[in-house]
Amino acid sequence: MLKVAAVAAQAKGGEELVALDVSEPLPLVDIFLVVSGRSERNVAAIADEIEDKLLEAGYKRLRREGRREARWVLLDFGDLVVHIFHEQEREFYGLERLWKDCPVVPIEQVQPAVVG
């Protein structure tokens, strides 16, 4: 689930992806994926792509918040909660600082396709 979301985020220009294992303090959630976008339009595109790809993969969305404003979009897929921030909001809210005691989960980086 994390890999599908990460690939989708990167496909739409998502930056600074960080996955945190929040299963210890939040027994109903395993991972927070935090992603940055450069503009409201970019944040919305990232959120839409992640949601589409996770739904295509058979995962059920439980909740979505913030899509209209597209400054901080939250996608709740149960075990995975994705936070897509406009870069200014990410800095302001500092989610990684709030959850700094949680281990970071490695994310496989997507290699760009070679066109030739």
Q: Say which CATH number the domain at 25 has.
A: 3.30.460.10
| Per-residue confidence (pLDDT) for residue 62, from 0 to 100 | 96
Report yes or no on 26 lying in a domain: yes
| Per-residue confidence (pLDDT) for residue 115, from 0 to 100 | 43
Q: Which two tokens stand for residue 63?
A: 């909740």
First-residue to last-residue Cα distance in the chain: 31
Domain region containing 60? 2-105
Report yes or no on 81 lying in a domain: yes
Domain tally, the chain: 1
Evaluate if pTM is beyond 0.95.
no
Report yes or no on 16 lying in a domain: yes
Q: Which two tokens stand for residue 67?
A: 């899509």
Query: Around 1, how many Cα atoms within 13 Å sit in the side-chain half-sphere?
Result: 20
Amino acid at 70: A
pLDDT averaged per 10 residues in sequence order, the chain, 116 residues:
96 95 91 96 97 96 93 96 95 91 82 44
